Amino acid sequence: MTTKNSYAASLTMPSEREIVMTRVFDAPRKLVFQVYTDPQQIPYWWGKRSHTTRVDRMDVRAGGLWRYIERDEDGNEYCFNGEYREIVPPEKIVNTFEFEGMPGHIGLVTSIFEELADGRTRLTETSVFPSMEDRDEMIASGMEEGANETWDRLAEVLAGAAR
DSSP string, 54-107: EEEEE--STT-EEEEEEE-TTS-EEEEEEEEEEEETTTEEEEEEEETTSTT--E
The reported pLDDT for the residue numbered 1 is 30
Single-letter code of the amino acid located at 25: F
Q: Which CATH superfamily is domain 10-161 in?
A: START domain (3.30.530.20)
Structural domain boundaries of the chain? 10-161
Digit-coded pLDDT (tens) for 89-106: 999 999 999 999 889 999
Is a pLDDT exceeding 50 seen at residue 3?
no
pTM, 2 dp: 0.91
